[in-house]
Structure 1
């Protein structure tokens, strides 16, 4: 049993659950009003499924916009599949929630940002400078454009 509550991962799980619920609503009812999403994801995530030419063009991360044309949205507990056009060519994408880096709905100024939780020593030193924490508590940085956990850190 762990010696501490892993708030970082618990919050990430909650935020991914929120994205799932939003996408389930869109799957059922379509996008309401002027809502639209900018979803940035890690193209190198092992469970991401995109066309080879897209992964070659976007090695590392890619942002898709769910707004004017998309179809076949299929939301599951682990991720979602959607068909979108790239340069007029329709492509099917599978994006697991774990691969999402940012989820933004600019129509209502809402956004979530997931920070990587894998750090080497140099990265941890840089993170410690931004948000100092007690030495015996592992730091797992979480930032969000709308919801920031930094205000709860001591």
Structure 2
């Protein structure tokens, strides 16, 4: 199952809406999640989110620099019910520290490569050719100078019930 970043972000936005204490929007308030929280989420969100999607979203969330920094700090873990749990073990803290240093190193290398090529700080990949939509129509619209505007209808994406697009 291939999961896109957009799908993961939508899932996390949904979880943040449902559980704001567990998935805060402010990176400074991020805390490590309780061990086994995926099973509690799977039970609580049965019928809305599948367990695979929850696992993918949690993996994405736990790889975030703010989350890793919270583990390194030794912040108390938080459960789905908002209760504080134990602190991360020294081994978990070391793993998070190592992963953070890998991410920072990769960011520095990307920045150096971008500067060497003379491109902006964030090297942009070439844009792929636009996809043909199942429905590709043009209709007159009103532009700033009264010219007709071509409007492309976007493809519909299935969003599970209960999830709202950001």
Tell me the TM-score normalised to structure 1 length.
0.24
Larger radius of gyration: 2
**Greater helix content:** 2
The TM-score normalised by the length of structure 2 is 0.23
Bigger strand fraction: 1
